[in-house]
A and B are shown apart, each in its own frame.
Chain A
Amino acid sequence: METDSATAVLQARGIVKIFGQHRALDTVDFDLRTGEVHALLGENGAGKSTLIKILTGAYQPDGGEVLLQGTPVSFRDPLQAQGYGIGTVYQEVNLLPNRSVAENLFLGHQPTRWGLIRRREIDERAAALLATYGLEIDVRAELSEYSVAVQQIVAIARAVELSGKVLVLDEPTASLDRNEVDRLFEVVERLKSRGLGIIFITHFLDQVFRLSDRVTILRNGRKIGTQPLAQVSTTDVVRMMLGKDVAFDHHPTGLSGAERGIPRVTFKGMGKAGRVAPFDLTLHEGEVVGVAGLLGSGRTEMARLMFGVDAADQGSVEINGRAVAVKTPAQAVAAGFGFCPEDRKLDGIFGDLSVRENIIIALQAKLGWFRALNRDEQIELAGRYAEALDIRAANHDMPVKLLSGGNQQKVILARWLAIDPSVLILDEPTRGIDVGAHAEIVRTINRLREEGLALLVISSELDEVVAYSNRVVVMRDREMVAELTGDDVAPDVIVRAIADHPTRQEPSA
């Protein structure tokens, strides 16, 4: 299908972006029309932010081209893109909180006379400008005196003023309450009717359906599709976001009837206000419990509560029927828990330390600081787990940051296996790693289950979750909304559980 370049204000054709060996974007097409709100959806690592950074000039593509009103353009940096008419507003307001609203609006292009800023003119123009956004505030007051929503509208006004053709809204509603969201949406509608093309990034599906005309869905750096929202359901969208490129038939897992052992750990009424609603969950010996849910559904927050990274403000943990305190990671490790965090680089890997040091660190932390692992024990441990998990490193004294993502993930897995855990929590263990390592990790999960471990695995890859889970719990809006067992452990049922019940109905204001 030909894109209508007459109305397309911004187009991307065959965009490729490669980081190291990782294809962050693989021949992605995208087009934005004038006077439309175009939502961009995808899980973490799908390529949303990479695409936006290319469209706004923060990154240069390794292949493909960007067209602005039909003309190929290449932006050196976001400033140049702004000059061409493309403005961006981020979740965190990028303005100066300690300057006045007016100054923020005109920062960098203040009207001057004899080198002096014309304050009164700035104030007048700022007030007039904001009035067109339905915002009547004292523009001479410091920006920080206003709510995030107002600041966001100021940021939008500034971006539109400076650019005027395309507006990119990167998760603008993440820190807004419901009334503020309504207010922001009014502004967006107004801009849309003025003919701007607006790219809207969010992980709130209800907002996508409320505000957007079309949606483009990315997964693993590829474009899955672009659809007018009038023609798709929430289920379709979730399916496109989470599924593999196969039809979503009813494929129940072969594992649901498999034997599982006695309860290993029970979380009772565990929760934390504002993060995760209280949930009950029991993990059994020799069982994998999969966790499905969209980004921001509370799945990671749940894992962090279980491991004591964030202390729960209610609920209890029982291991083999005995109550234990898990308020810190140290207590969780002592209780025999292991945790592979979602963000490998930020929370998992000690980049500058050697492979060996990375593998032994959790065990050494568990042993405490009076019982040293001597060098031979360390070498033996590292060697054993590197072999068991097929960690490909030239030697175990090299810094772990030089390994590929998949091998780094295996190193973190090895680290937890070394403490001989009884419960293992894996948050997106296969994200962003190559196919070979991916298969290896899935194999390892299956093997660990057979060896009697209790596992909780969070994943955005539904096929994968179904392949290794005995049960699946579904998270939505920071709440555990479903527990699927037996034949229900199937992609189609999971997608429905995530999507079917629409997100909480908004009370009429």
Chain B
Amino acid sequence: MPGIESNAVEPTKDELRGLSGLQKAIRLAPTYGLVILMVGLVILFSVLLPNTFPTMLNLRSILSDKAIIALLSLAAMIPMVAGRIDLTVGYGIVLWHILAISLQTMYGLPWPVAVGIVLVLGVITGFLNGLLVEVARIDSFIATLGTGTILYALALWHTGGRQMVGQLPDAFYAINGTFIFGLPITAFYVMAITLTLWIVLEYTPIGRYLYAIGANQRAAELNGIPTRKFVIGAFVASGVLAALAGVLLASKLRIGQASVGLEFLLPALVGAFLGSTTIKPGRVNVWGTIVGVMILAVGISGIQQFGGSFWVEPLFNGTTLLIAIGIAGYAQQKKGTKSK
């Protein structure tokens, strides 16, 4: 019968039953390929660099280094679920981390108020992006490039090219600097947000709606989903997460300057794109995004310990992205032609 054979990229329990171990592995490879690769890299580096790689110190440094990128990746991922892209995550973080400091040093606001204002501004930015995309019908790439660039300009204007420095309360530093069970607290933030997003996107109607909008907005509309509201909501969620990442960055760096933050944009997008090739291949997803960010973190950390230069990081990011997307696209194409 036509269409009866399974072409699903993601295998089901039904299919796996009765397969031998090797067959199972082959069937599961596309789904967990990136995870397997990550585990492989961890083992490889641990064997080759037994004194520096598999250490608590290295784990801490990876986690605290990459928590911000992980948050930005998740921020970028939410509109992607609804088929949109949000570039403001990378520009926003520049302004947000500056404001988180300058509101305290220049205006003397207590740190919780400063953080609150930054988060509210993140919400407003997301809302504006949502309006531009859904009401003004501007393509999301262009709309968010525009708002992002304006945010960046505001950052330049606000700082006048200077660094924002000053004595900040310890509690503000603690946002980033605390350790729990020996691990940086930022890792726990990421974990909590990841779990929340995972539950929302996989197990609640909100997730069903957003994925439906991303798959076919016209059909979503015809099924009675208030698409406009949900797309705007996705941008708002993205905006607030990016603002949170900005606060963490401020707490970590203790200095605000307009030259910091833009370099996070591409790795954040790479993480989300990589994520779409694993766990639930073919669609952006929460755990995939986290795996994407982690594999980049592990790979770069290992290569740097081998003495790789400073330019290795973007090189590794770019190469991994192209290979992963290439393989995923090829696999899907093969499945697609088989079904015809």
Contact = CB atoms under 8 A, between A and B. Distances in A.
A395 B6 contact: yes
A333 B223 contact: yes
Contacts of A307: 222
Interface string A251-276: 00000000000000000000000000
Interface stretch (B10-18, B70-78, B291-299): B10-18
Interface in B1-51: 1-10, 12, 14-15
Contact of B218 (A346, A354, A370, A398): A346
Interface string B221-262: 111111000000000000000000000000000000000000
Contact of A362 (B9, B223, B340): B223
A407 interface: yes
B203 interface: yes
B215 A347 contact: no
Interface stretch (B107-115, B156-164, B205-213, B267-275): B205-213
A368 interface: yes
B279 to A, nearest CB: 14
Interface in A166-191: none
A369 B3 contact: no
Contact of B4 (A364, A366, A394, A415): A394
Interface residues of B, number: 39
A372 B208 CA distance: 9
A297 B335 CA distance: 40
Contacts of A366: 224
A130 B305 CA distance: 73
Contacts of A352: 214-215, 282-283
A371 B205 contact: yes
A399 B8 contact: yes
A347 B208 contact: no
Given A349-B219, A360-B208, A404 B8 contact: no
A392 interface: yes
B304 interface: no
A488 to B, nearest CB: 33
A438 to B, nearest CB: 13
Nearest to B10: A397
Interface in A355-397: 357, 360-362, 364-375, 392-395, 397
Contact of B7 (A20, A329, A375, A398): A398
A309 interface: yes
B64 to A, nearest CB: 35
Contacts of B8: 354, 394-395, 397-399, 402
Contacts of B340: 20-21
B52 interface: no
Interface in B152-208: 203-206, 208
Contacts of B212: 350, 353, 357, 361
A392 B1 contact: yes
A395 B14 CA distance: 8
A350 B216 contact: yes
Given A352-B215, A369-B204, A372-B203, A394 B223 contact: no
B283 A394 contact: no
Given A330-B226, A333-B223, A352-B215, A402 B2 contact: no
B333 interface: no
A365 B224 CA distance: 6
A362 B205 contact: no
Given A351-B216, A352-B283, A357-B208, A392 B3 contact: yes
Contacts of A331: 224
Contacts of B220: 350, 361
Interface in B282-339: 282-283, 335-336, 339
Given A21-B2, A393-B4, A395-B8, A368 B221 contact: no
A403 interface: yes
Most chain A CB neighbours (cut-off 10 Å) among B2, B5, B12, B226: B2
Contact of B222 (A347, A368, A399, A404): A347
A394 B6 contact: yes
Q: Which are the 9 A-B pairs with shortest beta-carbon distances?
A: A333-B224, A398-B8, A394-B6, A350-B215, A330-B224, A369-B205, A404-B2, A404-B3, A365-B224
10 contacts: A21-B340, A309-B221, A329-B224, A330-B226, A346-B219, A352-B282, A372-B205, A392-B3, A395-B14, A402-B8
Interface of B: 1-10, 12, 14-15, 203-206, 208-209, 211-212, 214-216, 218-226, 282-283, 335-336, 339-340
